[in-house]
């Protein structure tokens, strides 16, 4: 074992791949997920199944109510955009952006890392498909890491110990899927849809469904999630 | 009015002074407090009274359960240290340090700032009395500000707009109290104790009570909170 790492696990395709990568690299994983008032709970169920499948050391689910702030289609009573062409998604910051979400999520991951004695944090951000999200950019992650290294007990002793790993940051969705396939990720356990049907089936029309469909198509792989329904 | 600012309001002496400073500087204040599983709720009541007294634009109380992580005398079933000489408190990181607390609190403040269109955040950290806390140091705050400027919509447009104000960072407790007195802060509305009695009265023995007592003594001012009981 390489030691402990904290993995942010949303239950989506990217974080599942991230979890597989951390395990493949030999880390003992502490998974962290958030019940943040999102419109659906299916991704939390997926996170639980993934955590179990990957035999994580522990899986912490933090309840934080981001609905207090509103400001996003994912946490407020605002319609999720549907049927947008993938090419148009990168123009501007989408309404599905949740204010400061990654900053908040990473801060809880940092607390968990400190308590568990971990100095490695994995987050499945991606700068290509989510180019409109400020908190998915490499320069943001580097700045977060610099801050995190000053924020904790570990940082007082050595301000370069903590690493934020972003193994997917410059991969296309198809490349992420191929990487996950090589590691044996069961994408049937993941949910990407922003607005799933009550049955848990993906809507097939939101930005996230469109990106996922395009990714599997380009990777030349059948999406086991879609095949479920 | 100078525009909107977010003020982190714990209900303690420092954050009350910070609130008074932000108002004195002409900001329209959005206050934010946290119900984070702390051992007592008295400071939240104080925060509410202060927010009302200072006529803030709004007061958001975020529920986040830091007990999930444990690791601190303030959030776990660990005794709060009592009757330590003030001189000895700065040796090492105290058990009352909550892992990544300021990082988490500032992240919520950042989300609120983004949603309310504010680019100024006030936090009453102090590098002198809390020299053992990694997340009260000036270098940490500067790193947080750099990160925050890359984290949000505002940061995409201009990565130097957001300011983290720390007006108390290099003041002694006595200097903070004198500053607050000049601004008319009613310290009777504040609570500093880590382990108050059921009546709300300060225990008089924890590190925070000791620092407060010393501060009022050095400032030559009677503490209206103690005088209440």
Q: Which residues of B111-135 are buried (b: 16+ CB within 10 A; e: fewer)?
A: bbbbbbebbbbbbbbbbbbbebbbb
Question: What pLDDT is recorded for position A194?
Answer: 83
Chain B: give the shortest CA distance to residue A88, in Å.
18
- Does the structure show a pLDDT above 80 at B121? yes
Question: What pLDDT is recorded for position A108?
Answer: 93
Q: Sketch the domain layout of chain B as residue ranges.
A: 3-81+90-187
Element (H, E) at A5: strand A3-8
Chain A: give the shortest CA distance to residue B144, in Å.
5
Structure tokens at B3: 């525009």
CATH number of B3-81+90-187: 3.40.50.620
Q: How far is CA A12 from CA A46, A57, B211, in A?
A: 8, 20, 48
Question: What pLDDT is recorded for position B64?
Answer: 82
Answer for the pair A86, A130: CB distance below 8 angstroms, yes or no. Answer: no
Question: What pLDDT is recorded for position B81?
Answer: 65
From the number of C-beta atoms within 10 Å of its C-beta (0-12, 13-18, 19+), residue A28 rates as middle
Residue of B nearest to A60 (CA): B68
Interatomic CA distance for residues A136 and A133, integer angstroms: 6
- Does the structure show a pLDDT above 80 at B40? no
Question: What pLDDT is recorded for position B207?
Answer: 83
Q: What is the pLDDT of residues B83-100, one digit of tens each?
A: 776 666 555 555 556 778
B contacts of A157 (beta carbons < 8 Å): none
In order, the DSSP letters of A116-145 are: HT--EEE----TTTTTT-GGGSHHHHHHHH
CATH number of A3-228: 3.40.50.620
B152 touching A (Cβ < 8 Å)? yes
Chain A: give the shortest CA distance to residue B220, in Å.
34
- Does the structure show a pLDDT above 80 at B153? no
User: Is there a contact between B103 and A107 if contact means CB atoms under 8 Å apart?
Assistant: yes
Best to test chain B binding among A103, A119, A135, A144 (most B CBs inside 10 Å):
A103
Phi, psi of B111 (to 5 degrees): -60, -45
Question: What pLDDT is recorded for position A20?
Answer: 98
Contacts of B148 by beta carbon, 8 Å cutoff, 6+ apart: A103, B106, B110, B121, B155, B162, B164
pLDDT greater at residue A41 or residue B144: B144
- Does the structure show a pLDDT above 70 at B159? no
User: Is there a contact between A100 and B108 if contact means CB atoms under 8 Å apart?
Assistant: yes
Interatomic CA distance for residues B110 and B116, integer angstroms: 10
B60 touching A (Cβ < 8 Å)? yes
For the complex shown, is ipTM > 0.90?
no
Global pTM reads 0.88
pLDDT in tens, chain A (229 residues): 689 999 999 999 999 999 999 999 999 999 999 987 766 788 899 999 999 999 999 999 988 877 666 555 555 555 666 677 666 655 555 555 677 889 999 999 999 998 888 999 999 998 876 667 788 899 999 999 999 999 987 766 766 689 999 999 999 999 999 999 999 999 999 998 888 888 888 988 988 899 899 999 999 999 998 776 6
Q: What is the pLDDT of residues A152-179, one digit of tens each?
A: 877 667 666 899 999 999 999 999 999 9
Question: What pLDDT is recorded for position A64?
Answer: 82
Chain B: give the shortest CA distance to residue A167, in Å.
19
Question: What pLDDT is recorded for position A41?
Answer: 81
Average pLDDT of chain B, as a whole number: 86
Residue of B nearest to A138 (CA): B150
User: Is there a contact between B69 and A135 if contact means CB atoms under 8 Å apart?
Assistant: no
B residues 68-127 near A, CB within 8 Å?
Answer: 68-71, 93, 97, 99-104, 106-108, 110-112, 114-115
Residue of A nearest to B103 (CA): A107
User: Is there a contact between A110 and B97 if contact means CB atoms under 8 Å apart?
Assistant: no
Answer for the pair A111, A117: CB distance below 8 angstroms, yes or no. Answer: no
- Does the structure show a pLDDT above 70 at B179? yes
């Amino acid at each position: 074992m390489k030691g402990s790492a904290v993995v942010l696990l949303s239950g989506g395709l990217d974080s599942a791949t991230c979890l597989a990568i951390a395990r493949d690299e030999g880390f003992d994983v502490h998974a962290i997920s958030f019940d943040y008032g999102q419109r659906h709970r299916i991704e939390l169920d997926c996170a639980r199944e993934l955590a179990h499948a990957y035999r994580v050391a522990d899986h912490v689910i933090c309840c934080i109510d981001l609905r207090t702030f509103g400001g996003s289609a994912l946490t407020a009573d605002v319609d999720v955009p549907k049927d947008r062409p993938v090419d148009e998604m990168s123009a501007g910051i989408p309404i599905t952006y949740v204010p400061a979400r990654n900053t908040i999520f990473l801060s809880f991951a940092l607390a968990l890392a400190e308590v568990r004695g971990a100095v490695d944090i994995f987050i499945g951000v991606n700068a290509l498909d989510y180019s409109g999200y400020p908190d998915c950019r490499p320069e943001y992650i580097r700045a977060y890491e610099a801050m995190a290294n000053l924020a904790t007990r570990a940082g007082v002793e050595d301000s370069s110990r903590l690493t934020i790993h972003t193994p997917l940051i410059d991969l296309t969705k198809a490349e992420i899927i191929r990487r996950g396939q090589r590691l044996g990720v069961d994408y049937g356990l993941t949910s990407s849809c922003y607005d799933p049907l009550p049955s848990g089936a993906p809507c097939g029309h939101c930005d996230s469904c469109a990106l996922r469909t395009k990714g599997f198509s380009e990777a030349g792989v059948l999406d086991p999630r879609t095949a479920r329904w």
